Chains A and B, each alone.
Chain A
Amino acid sequence: MVHKVNSGHPGGSLGCTEFFVALYYEIMELKDGFDMNGSDENLFFLSNGHISPVFYSVLAHKGYFPVEELNTFRLIDSRLQGHPTTHEGLPGVRIASGSLGQGLSVAIGAALSKKMNNDRKTVFALMGDGELQEGQNWEAIMFAAGKKVDNLIATVDLNGKQIDGATDDVLPMGDIPAKFSAFGWEVIKLEKGNDLKAIVETLKLAQTKTGKGKPIVIIMHTEMGNGVDYMMHTHAWHGKAPNDEQLEIALSQNPETLGDY
C-alpha cells in the first residue's frame, strides 16, 4: 500500500501488525457489519493514526470493506485517507486521528458512554510512545484513573522511535510504566510485542483486570519495521515509502504479507 502511492508510514505499521491481528482476530467481540454506536461490542480507537496501513489492512480482512479497496490508500477520492477518518464513511473507523494525543480521551468518552448504557464490553485504544509527549494524554491518563474508567484497555506501542530519532534523544520520557503506575493505572508490561501468542496472552490477562476500579495499560515493546531487516533498528522508516527494489526485499522477507492488492 505504502509503496504503491510512495507515501505513508510503514515502520510503525509493521511494528504493530501482530497487535492488530491479535486484537481483531483473537480478542475483540465484534458484531456483523458496522454501526457508529457500536453498542454491545468491543470498540477500538487508534490514536497514532499514521499507522493507518495496518489498521486498514486488518479492517479490510475482517470484512469491513473490500480488500481491493486497499489499493486506493492515499489516492484522490478514496475512503482510505492518509490518516483514518469517519469523514468518508469508511466502516470500522469511529474517530479521525493523526493529530496526535487525542485518541485516549476519545476512548475514555466511549468507555464512559458504555458504562452509562450498562454495556459491559471493553474499549481498547492504541497509542504511540512518541505521542505521549502530547500533554492531552496526561490529562486523559489522570482522568481515567481518577474517575475509575476500568472498562478501558490502552496499549502503548513502545518502539522507542519517532520521526526525528530515538525518543530518548528527542525528548526522554523516563520510566513510562512507572508514570502510568503513579497516575493510578494497572500496568502490564509486554516484552515480546511482536509475538502474536504473547500479545494474545497479555490482552487476555488485561481483560481479567477490567471492572476493578483501574484503567489498564499494556506497555508493549515492539520493533518498528518488524519483519523487514532494513527497516528495523532505525527511525528512518517512520514515514517513508520503500522503492521497487526495497519492496521486493521486504516482501521476500514476509511470505505472508499485507501486501498491495
Chain B
Amino acid sequence: MEKYTDQGKVDTRSGFGAGLTELGRTNPNVIALCADLVGSLKMQDFIDENPDRFIQVGIAEANMMGIAAGLTIGGKIPFTGTFANFSTGRVYDQIRQSIAYSGKNVKICASHAGVTLGEDGATHQILEDIGLMKMLPGMTVINPCDFNQTKAATLAIANHQGPVYLRFGRPKVANFTTDEMPFEIGKGIVLNTGNDVTLVATGHLVWEALLAAEALEAEGVSAEVINIHTIKPLDTELLLTSVRKTGCIVSAEEHNYLGGLGESIAGALASSHPTPQEFVATNDTFGESGTPAQLMEKYGLNKNAIIAAAKKVMARK
C-alpha cells in the first residue's frame, strides 16, 4: 500500500486563502468578493496585499453573485467567498441566470461545506450543494481533499474559462497530497492501486478512504483508492478502468447521497459498465450541532463507514 504522510492537520479553507494570496501576486485580473466572512474564508492576506482588488459586499449574497457576474464584463476573474450554504442554496437563481446561463467566468468559492462545519448546526451545514451546482449546465464542480489540493485547485480555476464551484471546509484535517500529484481539473488521482474493491472519495473523505484501505489491507483486502476532486466533469474513464479490474465500488463524500458524487458515478457506470456500488454519504437528512468528529461518526462519514461499505459491496460481486 502506498504510504501517505500527514504533514500536519490544517483546514482546507486555509488552502483556499493561500491560493488566493498567490493569485493576488500573479494574476492582476483576480478580484475577491466576500459577504462578511473574510476571517472564515482566510481572505485577509489577499486583502492586505490587494486592497483595490477586494470588494466587501456585506451580508448580501445575491447582490454579490450579480456583481461578480458583472465584473467579468471587462475581463475580471471574480472569486466570491462565503459559506457553502450561502454560496449555493441561498443564491441559486442568481447563479443560474446571471452566472451559469450567462456563461460568466465566476469562481464561487465555498467554505464550511458539510457537517464538519460543526457546532453551528444544520442551518449552516449544507449537504445538497454538490447536487445543486452539478445540475447547472456548464458549471465545473470541485471538492478538494486537503490544504495542498485546495490551494492547487484555487490556482487552477483561475486559468479555467467558465463558472466554477469550489467547495472546501472548516475543520483541520490531514494534509497529505504532494507536488507529485499535479492538480488537473477533471482528472482523478489514483492514490493506491488495488484489485478487490475501488474506493472513490472526494473532499474530507479522501483521507478516511486511505485509512480504510490501510485497515482493509491488514485484513487481506486489496483496495484501490481514487481521489475524485472534480465531480463535474467526472473522470469516467479512470473509474471505468478501475471497476473493470475490481468489479465493485464504494463512493464516499460529505454530502447527501442524493445529488452527490456517488450518484454521478452510478449514473456514469450504469450506462456503460453496471457495477455494484455502496454509498458512504448522508442519507437524505439534515445535520445537527456537534464536533466535526462526532458528526462524521454519527452520520457514517468516516473510515469505519467506508470499511463496512467495502465489505458489503464485495459480497455483492
| A interface residue numbers (CB < 8 A to B) | 36-39, 43, 45, 85-87, 94-99, 102-114, 116-117, 119, 135-136, 139-140, 142-143, 146-147
When distances are taken between beta carbons in the complex, the residues of chain A under 8 Å from B58 are: 139, 142-143, 146
Nearest-neighbor residue (CB-CB) of B31 within chain A: A116
Partner of A38, one of B55, B60, B73: B73
Q: In the complex, what's the smallest C-beta–C-beta distance from B28 to chain A, in angstroms?
A: 10
Other-chain residue from B67, B93, B96 in contact with A109 (beta carbon distance below 8 A): B67
Q: How many A-B residue pairs have CB under 8 A?
A: 117
Min C-beta distance of B315 to chain A, whole Å: 48
* B62 and A113 within 8 A (CB): no
Determine if B75 is an interface residue (Cβ-Cβ < 8 Å).
yes
* A residues less than 8 Å from B60 (CB atoms): 139, 142-143
Q: Inside 8 A of B103's CB, which chain A residues have their CB?
A: 86-87
Q: Which residues of B contact A113 (CB under 8 A)?
A: 70-76
Contact in complex: A111, B70 (CB < 8 Å): yes
For B97, give its contact among A96, A109, A111 (CB under 8 Å): A96
Residues of A within 8 A of B78 (CB): 109
Residues of B with C-beta under 8 A to A86: 101-103
CB of B52 within 8 Å of the partner chain: yes
Q: For residue A39, which residue of chain B has the nearest CB? A: B74
CB proximity of B143 to chain A, nearest CB, Å: 27
Q: CB-CB < 8 A to A108: which residues of B?
A: 63, 66-67, 70
User: Closest 7 interchain pairs by CB?
Assistant: A109-B70, A105-B66, A113-B74, A139-B63, A139-B60, A109-B67, A110-B70
Do the beta carbons of A36 and B73 come within 8 Å of each other? yes
Question: Does any Cβ of A come within 8 Å of B68's Cβ?
Answer: yes
A38 to B68: give the CA distance in the assembly, Å: 16
Residues of B close to A147: CB separation below 8 A: 55
In the complex, chain A residues whose CB is within 8 Å of the CB of B101: 85-87, 96
Chain B residue nearest in CB terms to A89: B103
Question: In the complex, what's the smallest C-beta–C-beta distance from A176 to chain B, in angstroms?
Answer: 19
Q: A36 → chain B, closest Cβ, in Å?
A: 6
A83 to chain B, nearest CB (A): 9
User: In the complex, how many residues of chain B place their beta carbon closer than 8 angstroms to a beta carbon of chain A?
Assistant: 32
Asked if B69 is at the interface of the complex by the 8 Å CB criterion, the answer is yes
Contacts A97-B97, A113-B74, A116-B31 hold; do A85 and B102 have CB atoms under 8 A apart?
yes
Given A95-B98, A102-B97: A136 in contact with B66 (beta carbons within 8 A)? yes
A136-B70 contact, Cβ under 8 Å, with A86-B103, A95-B98, A99-B97: no
User: Bound state CA distance, A103 and B63, in angstroms?
Assistant: 10
B207 to chain A, nearest CB (A): 38
Knowing that A117-B74, A143-B57 touch, tell me 15 more A-B residue pairs with CB under 8 angstroms. A96-B102, A99-B93, A99-B96, A102-B66, A105-B98, A106-B98, A108-B66, A109-B71, A109-B78, A114-B74, A116-B31, A117-B75, A139-B63, A146-B58, A147-B55
- Interface mask (B41-65 → A, CB under 8 Å = 1, otherwise 0): 0000000000011010110101111
Could you list 30 examples of A-B contacts with CB < 8 Å?
A36-B73, A37-B73, A37-B75, A39-B74, A85-B101, A87-B102, A96-B102, A98-B97, A104-B66, A105-B65, A105-B94, A105-B98, A106-B67, A106-B98, A107-B70, A109-B67, A109-B68, A109-B71, A109-B72, A109-B78, A112-B67, A112-B70, A113-B70, A113-B73, A136-B62, A142-B58, A142-B60, A143-B58, A143-B63, A147-B55
Chain A residues in 8 Å Cβ range of B55: 112, 147
CB-CB contacts below 8 Å: B102-138 with A: 102-104
User: Which chain A residues border B63 with CB–CB below 8 Å?
Assistant: 105, 108, 136, 139-140, 143
Is the beta-carbon distance between B93 and A94 smaller than 8 angstroms? no
Q: Provide the bound-state CA to CA distance between A193 and B75, in Å.
A: 34
Contact B73 A43 (CB under 8 A): yes
Complex-state Cα separation, A181 to B187, whole angstroms = 52
The residues of B that contact A45 with a CB separation of less than 8 Å are 70
A135 to B91, CA, bound (A): 12
